[in-house]
């Protein structure tokens, strides 16, 4: 299975980058499914029903989120109706929405997408290690699902790497989000799980993690709140990764970074690339 994952869409620049470059990715890479983290898509904070429907119209199959999922209050009633819009799995019981969805690709393959959130320097949610372990023991590779993809939305590299090793061999891929900076550690773990600490944001990198750079820098220089954060509006870079899995095991054959447009050096998997 060929899985394209796109990191945090930040504001209009990120949305425009997705609209511009996703057709190219679909044509060149022929993905079986496209997963996008959309938690910063609405003016840099949250997501709306209108944006979700735009993403689906552009060819997105599933949308993950994170700690900003509730920033746009209108999403609360909508998320209960849209099973492919996820919020982190480890929110307390009774929270609207779901942290996991299973669906079939157009080719009939069964893919399970899971969204979870870390706890270090984040909101104190339920234990993501236990929540993920319990779920993947039920949704076992080759027993009801052909691929399991996890978006782990977390602050620290250590927590992300720890949970990657903890689930190694039980899931197809785990890619981190939240820090908005793409990491250079995309690789296959010892037991066959594809891993990348952070996919990076999709947005304007002439910024401070997507925020206008003057506003972002002011907070460090003056140690005062300053202006309200506003997303940078220059040309966006689309960031993510292509994961290719083995149809017989569900484990990963390869993971390759994707960076298109904007100011970062481009990285595009070669069509047909496996290892």
Summarize pLDDT for 182-200 with one digit per residue, the tens: 999 999 999 999 999 999 9
**Least trusted range by pLDDT, from 115-119, 124-128, 202-206, 212-216:** 212-216
Token pair, residue 19, equals 């609209």
Confidence at residue 274, expressed as pLDDT on a 0 to 100 scale: 44
Q: Which of 141, 254, 245 is nearest to 188 (CA)?
A: 254
Q: Is residue 269 part of a domain?
A: no
Model confidence at 38: pLDDT above 70? yes
Query: 31 in a domain, yes or no?
Result: yes
Residue 17, pLDDT score:
97
Radius of gyration of the chain (CA): 17
Domain that holds residue 36: 2-260
**In the predicted model, what is the mean pLDDT of the chain?**
94
- Residues known to be catalytic: 68
Is 273 domain-assigned? Answer: no
CATH of residue 163's domain is 3.60.21.10
In three state form, how does the secondary structure of the chain look?
CEEEEECCEEHHHHHHHHHHHHHHHHHHHCCCEEEEECCECCCCCCCCHHHHHHHHHHCCCEEECCCCCCCCCCHHHHHCCCCCECCCCCCCCCCCCCCEEEEECCCCCEEEEEEEECCCCCCCCCCHHHHHHHHHHHCCECCCECEEEEEEECCCHHHHHHHHHHCCCCCCEEEEECCCCCCCCCEECCCCCEEECCCCCEECCCCECCECHHHHHHHHHHCCCCCCCCECCCCCEEEEEEEEECCCCCCEEEEEEEEECCCCCCECCCCCCCC
Q: What proportion of the chain, given as a percentage, has pLDDT over 70?
A: 98
| pLDDT, average across residues 162-171 | 98
Reported as a single tens digit per residue, the pLDDT across 209-229 is: 888 888 878 778 877 777 777
User: 265 in a domain, yes or no?
Assistant: no
* Structural domain count, the chain: 1
- Indicate whether this model's pTM tops 0.85: yes
* Residue 195 covered by a domain: yes
- Residue percentage of the chain with pLDDT more than 90: 85
Say what the pLDDT of residue 275 is: 40
Question: Of 28, 13, 19, which is closest to residue 258 (Cα–Cα)?
Answer: 28
Asked, for residue 124, whether it belongs to a domain, the answer is: yes
- Asked whether residue 182 is assigned to any structural domain, the reply reads yes
Q: In which band, very low, low, confident or very high, does the pLDDT at 273 lie, cut at 50, 70 and 90?
A: very low
Q: What is the dihedral of CA 49, 78, 197, 200, to 10 degrees?
A: 10
Both tokens assigned to 177: 């989000």
| Residue 245 is assigned to a structural domain of this protein | yes
173: CB partners within 8 A, 6+ apart: 3, 5, 147, 148, 149, 150, 193, 194, 195, 243, 245, 252, 255
Q: How many whole angstroms separate alpha carbon 244 and alpha carbon 1?
A: 6
């Amino acid at each position: 299975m060929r899985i394209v994952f796109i990191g945090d869409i930040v504001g209009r620049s990120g949305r425009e980058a997705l609209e511009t470059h996703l057709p190219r990715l679909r044509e060149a890479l022929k993905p079986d499914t496209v997963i996008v983290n959309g938690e910063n898509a609405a003016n840099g904070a949250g997501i709306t029903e209108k944006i979700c429907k735009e993403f689906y119209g552009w060819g997105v199959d599933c949308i993950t989120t994170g700690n900003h999922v509730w920033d746009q209050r209108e999403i609360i009633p909508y998320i209960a109706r849209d099973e492919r819009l996820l919020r982190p799995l480890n929110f307390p019981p009774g929270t609207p929405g779901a942290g996991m969805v299973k669906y079939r690709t157009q080719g009939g393959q069964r893919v399970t997408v899971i969204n979870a959130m870390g706890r270090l320097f984040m909101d104190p949610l339920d234990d993501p290690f236990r929540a993920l372990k319990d779920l993947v023991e039920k949704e076992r590779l080759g027993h009801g699902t052909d691929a399991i993809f996890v978006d782990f939305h977390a602050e620290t590299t250590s927590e992300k790497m720890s949970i990657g090793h903890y689930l190694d061999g039980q899931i197809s891929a785990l890619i981190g989000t939240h820090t908005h900076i793409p990491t250079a550690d995309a690789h296959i773990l010892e037991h066959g799980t594809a891993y990348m600490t952070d996919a990076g944001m999709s947005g304007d990198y002439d910024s401070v993690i997507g925020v206008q750079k003057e506003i972002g820098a002011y907070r460090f220089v003056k140690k005062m709140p300053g202006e309200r954060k506003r997303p940078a509006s220059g040309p966006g870079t689309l960031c993510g990764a292509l994961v290719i899995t083995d149809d017989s095991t569900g484990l990963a054959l390869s993971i390759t970074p994707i960076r298109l447009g904007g100011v970062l050096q481009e990285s595009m998997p070669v069509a047909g690339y496996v290892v």
